[in-house]
Amino acid sequence: MDMWLKEGQIEDAAMTYKIKETLVTKKTQYQDLSILDTYAFGRMLVLDGIVQTTIKDEYVYHEMISHIPLFTHPNPKKVLVVGGGDGGAIREVLKHPSVEKAVLCEIDKDVVDECKKFLPEISCALGNSRCEVFIGDGIKYVHEHKNEFDIIIVDSTDPFGAAEGLFGGSFYKEIFECLTEDGIFIAQTETPFYLPDVVKRVYEDAKAVFPVTKLFMAGIPTYPSGFWSFTVGSKKHDPENVDLSNTIDIETKYYTKKLHKACFVLPKFIENLTK
């Protein structure tokens, strides 16, 4: 019998994946967690039925959510990742030698433990001496650390249910205070194709808090529609107009200096959401 995962984030459309093997499936304190081996995308992390990351396409998301802010900041030393328990963003952040400390604040310890076990390609940097893994609530952590981080990456699940508090104006104000004087914030902000209202609202919420707010896109095959948005809020540095001529070379598969600029050029229907 063929086994398929059907992801139904969107009510009237779904993506399906043929499963080779179920490696783990459990109820954690916060959510249903599965790691599945699939024919098309290799192993994937699924939380509450929603695909979070896969071995085959994770690099797009993790490179873009990390390198856009880190190459925009002239000297990022302290980085906070909220969520992101799979460790993919941390792996990319630690490719930057200027980073002295990267804190991962993930609420669900099981995500970290299972990803360490079954997704070592993604979680491999969590044991790095520059990385501190803190298990706890991101909202509380941000509230309790003022003026501390040069970069804050919000690598959350979708803005419904548990992660809802990680989107919106009141959290962005807390983020602003947790950042240093020229700090930069970035979050994954959903698909403008299926959820234009969410993208618009989140962009406007960030814009009300940060002097520089920019939205960019990346193509992520396993997220609904493949069109995925990220929103950057910055106190000072403009990610689109930053001088990248002297930045170091790091190994990537998706990110390039050219793409760093180009990703901010938006298709008209997405650009309209930022007006």
The reply to whether 188 sits near ligand AG3 by the rule CB under 6 A is yes
**Could you confirm whether 155 is annotated as catalytic?**
yes
Q: Pick the piece of the chain touching ligand AG3 (CB under 6 A) from 32-40, 138-146, 153-161, 239-247.
A: 153-161
What is the Cβ-side half-sphere exposure of residue 236, based on CA atoms within 13 angstroms? 9
> Cβ distance 242 to 71 under 8 Å?
yes
Residues at the annotated binding site for spermidine? 62, 86, 155-158
Q: Pick the piece of the chain touching ligand AG3 (CB under 6 A) from 48-56, 194-202, 210-218, 243-251.
A: 48-56
> Cβ distance 255 to 263 under 8 Å?
no
- Ramachandran angles phi, psi of 241, nearest 5°: -110, 25
* Residues in 59-88 that interact with ligand AG3 by CB under 6 A: 61, 84, 86, 88
With CB under 6 A, what is the number of residues at the site for ligand AG3? 16
Residues 164, 166: Cα–Cα separation, whole Å: 5
Q: Pick the piece of the chain touching ligand AG3 (CB under 6 A) from 22-30, 47-55, 69-77, 177-185.
A: 47-55
- The active-site residue out of 155, 197, 205, 238 is 155
Beta strands in the chain (DSSP E): 3-7, 15-27, 32-38, 42-47, 50-54, 78-83, 101-106, 131-135, 149-155, 179-188, 212-219, 227-234
Residues 66, 78: Cα–Cα separation, whole Å: 13
Query: Looking at 19, 23, 24, 50, which residue binds ligand AG3 (CB under 6 A)?
Result: 50
The reply to whether 53 sits near ligand AG3 by the rule CB under 6 A is yes
Residue ranges binding ligand AG3 (CB under 6 A)? 9, 50-53, 61, 84, 86, 88-89, 155, 157-158, 188, 223-224
Q: Which residues are catalytic?
A: 155
